[in-house]
C-alpha cells in the first residue's frame, strides 16, 4: 500500500515539474517574442527620428534663406518651399489648438480659426471695474511666417514693437501681452472719463493718447484756496495704476505736508477717480 502511495506521489510531482518546465518554456518564448518586437519598434522610431531631424534641418535652412532674402536653389523652390509652408502651417495650427484650450483659463481674448486654418481671428475684450468696454479685433496670416493682416487697434498703441519682439517666436506671449496692455489702456481711458463725470472740480489738464501721463489740476481747501497740480505717470503699460505721482503747488509747505503725502500715496494705490473722490470726502480738495 505504501509503495502505491509513493508511486502516486512521484507521478504527481513529475507531472507538476513537467508543467512547470512547459510554463517556463512558454514564458521564455513570450519574452523572446516581446524583445524582438521592441527591437523592431526601436529601429522604426530611430528611422522616424532621423527623417524628422533631416526635414527639420532642411526647413530651418530654407526658413533662414527666406528671412534673409537669400536666393533659393531649384530644389528649394520646387519642394522645400512647399514643405516649409506645410510645416509652418501645421505648427501654427497645433499652437492655435493649444491657445484655444488655454484662453478659457487666461481669459482676455477669443480665437477663431479662419480660411481653413490659414488665418486666425482674435478678439480682445476689455473691461474696467466690472464694466465691459471696447473690443479690438485682429487677423493673423499663418501661411508663411505669422503676419498681421488687419486690425482696429488704436494707431498710438505700440503694436509694431510688440509684434517685432514676440510675434514670430512666442504667439501665446504676443497675444497675452496685447490683451494685458489693451485692457490697461481701456482702464486708464475709463478713469479719465469717470474723472470728468464724477469729480467736476478737478480739471484734466493733459492726457496722452496712451493715457500714460495724466496731469490734473485740483483746488486745495483751506483759508485760502490753492491750486495743486497732480501728475500721474504710468510706467507699466500693463497696469491701470500709476508708477509715479508728483504733487506741485506754489506753497511748498502744502505739497510737503503729511496730508498731501497721504494723498500722493492714495493716488498711487487707487484708480484716479476713486482717489480724488476720497480726497474730496476727506476735505483735501474742493
pLDDT digits (tens, 9 = 90+) for 142-158: 887 889 999 999 999 99
**How many domains in the chain?**
3
276 shares a domain with 260: yes
Q: Is the pTM of this model over 0.75?
A: no
In this structure, are 180 and 200 located in the same domain? Answer: no
Alpha-carbon distance of 283 to 140, in angstroms, equals 52
- Find out whether 231 and 214 touch, Cβ atoms under 8 Å: yes
Strands 203-207 and 213-220: antiparallel
For each of the chain's 286 residues, which pLDDT tens digit applies? 545 545 555 565 666 666 566 655 566 666 677 777 777 777 777 877 777 777 677 667 766 665 665 665 655 554 555 555 556 555 655 565 555 554 443 456 788 888 777 888 999 989 999 888 999 999 999 887 889 999 999 999 999 999 999 998 888 899 999 999 999 999 999 999 999 888 878 999 888 899 999 999 999 988 888 999 999 999 999 999 999 999 999 988 988 999 999 999 999 999 999 999 999 999 999 8
Q: Which of 186, 214, 236 is the last residue of a domain?
A: 186
Helix axis angle for 258-269 and 272-281, nearest 10°, is 150
Same domain, 195 and 278: yes
51 in a structural domain: no
- Nearest of 196, 230, 231, 193 to residue 212 by alpha carbon: 231
Alpha helix locations (H) across the chain?
Answer: 2-67, 74-75, 81-106, 159-166, 171-198, 252-255, 258-269, 272-281
| 178 and 97 in a common domain | no
Structural domain boundaries enclosing 83: 71-105
Encode 67-83: b = buried (16+ Cβ within 10 Å), e = exposed.
Answer: eeeeeeeeebeeebbee
* The domain boundary residue, chosen from 163, 186, 209: 186
Amino acid at each position: 500500500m505504501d509503495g502505491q502511495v509513493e508511486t502516486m506521489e512521484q507521478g504527481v510531482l513529475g507531472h507538476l515539474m513537467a508543467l512547470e518546465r512547459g510554463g517556463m518554456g512558454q514564458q521564455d518564448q513570450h519574452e523572446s517574442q516581446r524583445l524582438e518586437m521592441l527591437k523592431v519598434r526601436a529601429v522604426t522610431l530611430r528611422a522616424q527620428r532621423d527623417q524628422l531631424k533631416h526635414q527639420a534641418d532642411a526647413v530651418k535652412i530654407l526658413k533662414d534663406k527666406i528671412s534673409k532674402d537669400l536666393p533659393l536653389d531649384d530644389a528649394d523652390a520646387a519642394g522645400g518651399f512647399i514643405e516649409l509652408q506645410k510645416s509652418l502651417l501645421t505648427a501654427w495650427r497645433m499652437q492655435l489648438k493649444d491657445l484655444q484650450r488655454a484662453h478659457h483659463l487666461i481669459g482676455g481674448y477669443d480665437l477663431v480659426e479662419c480660411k481653413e486654418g490659414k488665418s486666425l481671428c482674435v478678439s480682445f475684450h476689455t473691461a474696467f471695474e466690472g464694466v465691459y468696454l471696447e473690443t479690438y479685433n485682429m487677423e493673423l496670416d499663418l501661411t508663411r511666417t505669422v503676419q498681421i493682416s488687419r486690425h482696429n487697434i488704436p494707431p498710438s498703441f505700440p503694436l509694431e514693437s510688440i509684434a517685432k519682439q514676440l510675434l514670430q517666436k512666442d504667439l501665446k506671449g504676443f497675444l497675452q501681452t496685447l490683451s494685458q496692455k489693451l485692457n490697461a489702456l481701456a482702464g486708464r481711458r475709463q478713469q479719465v472719463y469717470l474723472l470728468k463725470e464724477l469729480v467736476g472740480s478737478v480739471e484734466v489738464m493733459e492726457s496722452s493718447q496712451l493715457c500714460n501721463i495724466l496731469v490734473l489740476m485740483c483746488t486745495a481747501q483751506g483759508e485760502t484756496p490753492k491750486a495743486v497740480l497732480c501728475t500721474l505717470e504710468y510706467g507699466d503699460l500693463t497696469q491701470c495704476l500709476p508708477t509715479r505721482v508728483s504733487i506741485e503747488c506754489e506753497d511748498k509747505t502744502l505739497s510737503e505736508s503729511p496730508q498731501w503725502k497721504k494723498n500722493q500715496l492714495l493716488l498711487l494705490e487707487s484708480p484716479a477717480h476713486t482717489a480724488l473722490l476720497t480726497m474730496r470726502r476727506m476735505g483735501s480738495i474742493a
